[in-house]
Amino acid sequence: MSEFGGAWSEKKLDCVSSYLEAYHTALKNKDFQLVYIDAFCGDGAQKTRGGEDQVMLVEAALERMRGSAERAVSLPTPFHRYHFIDKSKKSLAQLKEHLLGLKPELAERMHFHAGDVNVELPKTIQSLNPKRERAVVFADPFGMQVDWETIEAVAACPIVDFWYLVPTGLALNRMATTSGNMPKSWGDRIDRFMGEKEWRERWYRRTESDDLFGRIETVEKVADIKLIEDDFQARLGKAFPLVAKNRMRLTDQGRVLFTLMFACSNPSPKARGLASNIANHLLKG
């Protein structure tokens, strides 16, 4: 069972499930097959951390099995196809057993892919048929696992609504150290995540001055969570024709962990308008 989450995790899952429901309603009279892709599906048994209080502990226990995958297969109207991706073969096997027990009638529609998101998600996206299908992708990572090239592969497929849990506080803001000195591997990781190196120029101010010993460079971190959120939303806007204006900050004990963002790859203004209305409404909280 994954030990991850708390009230903030519920908030994120509620938002995405509400979107999936509204998505079905909005497309119910269209002739599309609807596909759900869970890019970090987990083992289906996300553990919410309750408090000391017994009622909370009981509630937490009841919520143990309601991760993103279970929520998606339990919607009033099922998707035509489900793709579940996770790096951990063990988690995927546990999820499969759980979902097949829960919804045996959907067995033929469920596909399980063990492997890295940066390999499996682009492959799954390429298997979609833009003429017949419409898809929602949910990327719910622990941290910095998604490379920018994977985001570009999602954006290149013109039928995808994309929910992304961006590790703004948990990883990006922490890895971008105050001094600007960070292990090379951290800088390289942010480069792969952002798909460019220029974030350094936006997140840090460099000033040069002269002193007795010559020219010195001072580096000041100007990025805070808000700047990082704005910056990443703007990056998404370079890949997708639509990025929802609103976003949802997820905090634990006052600390920002993630920011939930939404983007849509559909070039049709009507499809984008609809997706943006629903997503912005839900992201308002």
Ligand X SMILES: C[S@@+](CC[C@H](N)C(=O)[O-])C[C@H]1O[C@@H](n2cnc3c(N)ncnc32)[C@H](O)[C@@H]1O
Q: In angstroms, give the least distance from the CB of 9 to ligand X.
A: 7
Options 21, 127, 142, 227; binder of ligand X; rule CB under 6 A:
142
What residue is closest to ligand X based on CB?
67
Least separation in angstroms between residue 130's CB and ligand X is 24
Among 8, 40, 232, 258, binds ligand X (CB under 6 A): 40
148 is a site residue for ligand X (CB under 6 A)? no
Task: Identify the residue among 17, 46, 265, 276 touching ligand X (CB under 6 A).
Answer: 46
> Which one of residues 82, 140, 155, 260 is an interface residue with ligand X (CB under 6 A)?
140
Pick from 15, 20, 37, 41: which binds ligand X (CB under 6 A)? 41
Q: In the bound complex, what is the minimum distance in angstroms from residue 54's beta carbon to ligand X?
A: 24
Site for ligand X in 82-101 (CB under 6 A): 85-88, 91
Tokens (6 digits) for 80: 């035509």
User: According to CB under 6 A, which one of 42, 122, 167, 169 is a site residue for ligand X?
Assistant: 42
Residue 2 binding ligand X, by CB under 6 A? yes
Q: Which residues bind ligand X (CB under 6 A)?
A: 2, 4, 13, 40-42, 46, 67-68, 85-88, 91, 116-117, 140-142, 145
